[in-house]
Amino acid sequence: MSKNKTLENLMTAFVGEAEANRKYTAYARKAEKEGKLNAAKLFRAAADAETFHALKHFEVAGKIRSTAENLLDGVKGETYEYKEMYPPFVKQAEADGNKAAVMSFTFAMKAEEVHARLYQDALDNLDQTEEIFYYLCPLCGNIEKFRPEKCSICGVLGDRFTKY
């Protein structure tokens, strides 16, 4: 097998394992809501295992670079999502009359713009030593550098944000 095919296989495995993590996490949340706690725990354990696999494949593929390069990649990816990927998704969902998809895509698009800005800010201040905390909205994925009264994107109360 060629080196290029192995790299392709590593990236295919990375995507598959990362997708399995997200799927199993969603299944765990559903099981918890249904009161099926043993199934929820199994799904969470499996989701974490899939994350281990994905991270190892990504590392072996040589995709983890310097922090500055990784931040630039973050800016690039988030900018693509909010400028190019999500706008046509929103338009299609509107055309299809799928209000839930419009909301889901719009929240993500707005949050990705914030993420791009935060990555750029982190890159611009990479050598800063003062600790910064980030706060994640549990509904739309918005990230703030302070706990807001409510999310500027979706309106969730700030006391529901997770601190990092």
Per-residue confidence (pLDDT) for residue 3, from 0 to 100: 76
State which CATH number among 3.40.50.300, 3.30.1340.10, 2.60.15.10, 1.20.1260.10 fits the domain covering 67-163. 1.20.1260.10
Q: Residue with structure tokens 């190019």? A: 84
Is residue 141 within 8 Å of residue 109, measured between CB atoms?
no
Architecture of domain 3-60: Up-down Bundle (1.20)
Each of the 164 residues of the chain gets a pLDDT tens digit; together they read: 577 999 999 999 999 999 999 999 999 999 999 999 999 999 999 999 999 999 999 999 999 999 999 999 999 999 999 999 999 999 999 999 999 999 999 999 999 999 999 999 999 999 999 999 999 999 999 999 999 999 999 999 999 999 99
| Residues forming CATH 1.20.1260.10 domain(s) in the chain | 3-60, 67-163
| Whole-number average pLDDT of the chain | 97
The answer to whether 114 and 137 are in contact (CB under 8 A) is: no
Query: What b/e string do you get for 22-53 counting C-beta neighbours within 10 Å, with b at 16 or more?
Result: eebbebbeebeeeeeeeebeebbebbeebbeb
Tokens of 24: 């199993």
